[in-house]
Amino acid sequence: MDPVVPQLRLDTTNPNDNDFNVVIPPIGPFETTEVWANLSIPPGADVQIQDWEIWFTDASSANTGEKARVATTVSINSQYSVKLTSTAPQIALTMNPGESHRLTVGSGSRLPISTQ
């Protein structure tokens, strides 16, 4: 992700499409659908205010153009991030379904691990 350009992602009830340009399944007269707009701001980006414009256009074969537009200014008041590091060795096992193993943790402690 470009640290200068935050990414806007749209999510809808269509599980196969989520990015900045999505196709919503057909909506009948007087029906509704849900759309979520998510803004991801990369670490270190100097973002304080974003102007969002979301257009709803006809993607059918009729292609009747723009149906609605939503414009809003989003203010980012606070931005927090955390980076965690560890000097402990990575503890990992590879198991197949139905197998169980003991995973050594620390100085002789053992935890039973199972995939059942």
Each residue of 17-27: pLDDT tens digit? Answer: 667 777 777 78
What tokens were used for 35?
């759309």
* pTM, full prediction: 0.42
Query: Taking phi first (over 0 means left), then psi (-120 to 50 degrees means alpha), and beta for anything else, what does residue 67 get?
Result: alpha
**Structure-block tokens of residue 112:** 């039973």
Lookup: tokens for 79: 């931005």
Domain boundaries, the chain: 7-75
Judge whether residue 1 has pLDDT over 50: no
Q: How far apart are CA 18 and CA 92, in angstroms?
A: 33
Task: Please state, rounded to an integer, the average pLDDT across all residues of the chain.
Answer: 73
pLDDT per residue over 55-81, tens digit each?
Answer: 888 877 787 888 888 888 877 766 666
